[in-house]
Amino acid sequence: MITLDHVSKHFQMGAVTVTALQDVSLQINKGEFVVILGPSGSGKTTLLNMLSALDTPSSGKICINGIDITSASRTDHFKFRRETIGFIFQAFNLFPSLTALENVQFAVDMRGNHHPKNGAAQQVLTQVGLGERVRHFPHELSGGEQQRVAIARALAMGNPVLLADEPTGELDFRTGIQILQLLEEQALNGKTVLVVTHNREISRVADRVIELSSGQIVRDGLPQGGKAAISDLHW
């Protein structure tokens, strides 16, 4: 379970104070597939960074799976990210000197999962359509392929909470649908999945849509028109 209690985030830019999030309170349950929707600058990525303990709120409290991450130490934050959070970065954050397979395997090893060597990494790369590209380095992959490596890395960790920042942003429609199906399967298997996007079409397949504007929640509920099947999407 994820709980935010009156969370705000302010940044100081010279003499100007910029508010990225303002008094956000919400609760997300285990197994929910949630889309956080909003335009650029609405606070989506700031919220995701705080949920992953990559940033801290200016005020308020965040608890995830019983862990108060706002008062935890840096050591506890590292353990929390290793054992609780799988993060799909918009900027990929792949190691340039490692192959696709090695990038994913590194995450598995960090998590401490005792799979046969490269077994989980190979399997999840095949799931995202990169079974024939596992020996390629990031500079040998397209942007969409690098995005799929980043997704495979997060999935392979097997953590109970999965956070995704624009996971289909670099993908063609067909591959984007495949990735959304994988994320939906994760939620159906009990993981809590949060997807940040500006794409309103993607929000149609969520169990719940949380819409942000100027750092505040302006809507929280079912997708407009009800939950759609992934096969009904188009963008």
Q: What is the pLDDT of residue 108?
A: 84
Q: What is the pLDDT of residue 9?
A: 97
Q: What is the pLDDT of residue 205?
A: 94
Q: What is the pLDDT of residue 175?
A: 87
Q: What is the pLDDT of residue 113?
A: 57
Q: What is the pLDDT of residue 31?
A: 95
Q: Evaluate whether residue 50 is within a structural domain.
A: yes
Quick one: tokens of 99? 């192959």
Q: Evaluate whether residue 137 is within a structural domain.
A: yes
**Dihedral (Cα; 121, 126, 130, 131), 10-degree rounding:** 90
Q: What is the pLDDT of residue 136?
A: 97
CATH number, domain of 218, equals: 3.40.50.300
Q: Evaluate whether residue 191 is within a structural domain.
A: yes
Q: Evaluate whether residue 222 is within a structural domain.
A: yes
Task: Tell me the three state secondary structure of residue 59.
Answer: strand
Q: Evaluate whether residue 2 is within a structural domain.
A: no
Q: What is the pLDDT of residue 116?
A: 47
Q: In sequence order, what DSSP letters do the residues of 159-210 get, joined into one string?
A: -SEEEEESTTTTS-HHHHHHHHHHHHHHHHTT-EEEEEES-TTGGGGSSEEE
Q: Evaluate whether residue 72 is within a structural domain.
A: no
* Residue pair 100/141 in contact by the 8 Å Cβ criterion: yes
Q: Evaluate whether residue 18 is within a structural domain.
A: no
Q: Are strands 161-165 and 85-88 parallel, antiparallel or unpaired?
A: parallel
What's the structural domain count of the chain? 1
Q: What is the pLDDT of residue 223?
A: 94
- Own/partner pairs for 90-97, CB < 8 Å, 24+ apart? 90/45, 90/165, 90/166, 90/169, 92/138, 92/146, 92/147, 92/149, 92/150, 93/150, 94/138, 94/146, 94/149, 94/150, 94/153, 95/138, 96/137, 96/138, 96/139, 97/137
Q: Which domain holds residue 94?
A: 30-56+79-232
Question: Tens-of-pLDDT digits for all 235 residues of the chain?
Answer: 899 999 999 999 889 999 999 999 999 999 999 999 999 999 999 999 999 999 999 999 999 988 899 999 989 998 999 899 999 988 889 999 999 999 999 988 877 655 445 578 899 999 899 999 999 999 999 988 998 999 999 998 889 999 999 998 888 888 889 889 989 999 999 999 999 999 999 999 999 999 999 999 999 999 988 899 988 888 7
Residues near 2 by Cβ (< 8 Å), separated by ≥ 6?
A: 26, 27, 28, 51, 62, 63, 64, 65, 161, 192, 194
Task: Tell me the three state secondary structure of residue 22.
Answer: strand
Q: Evaluate whether residue 39 is within a structural domain.
A: yes
Cα separation values, 129 from 19, 60, 96, 123, Å: 40, 41, 20, 10
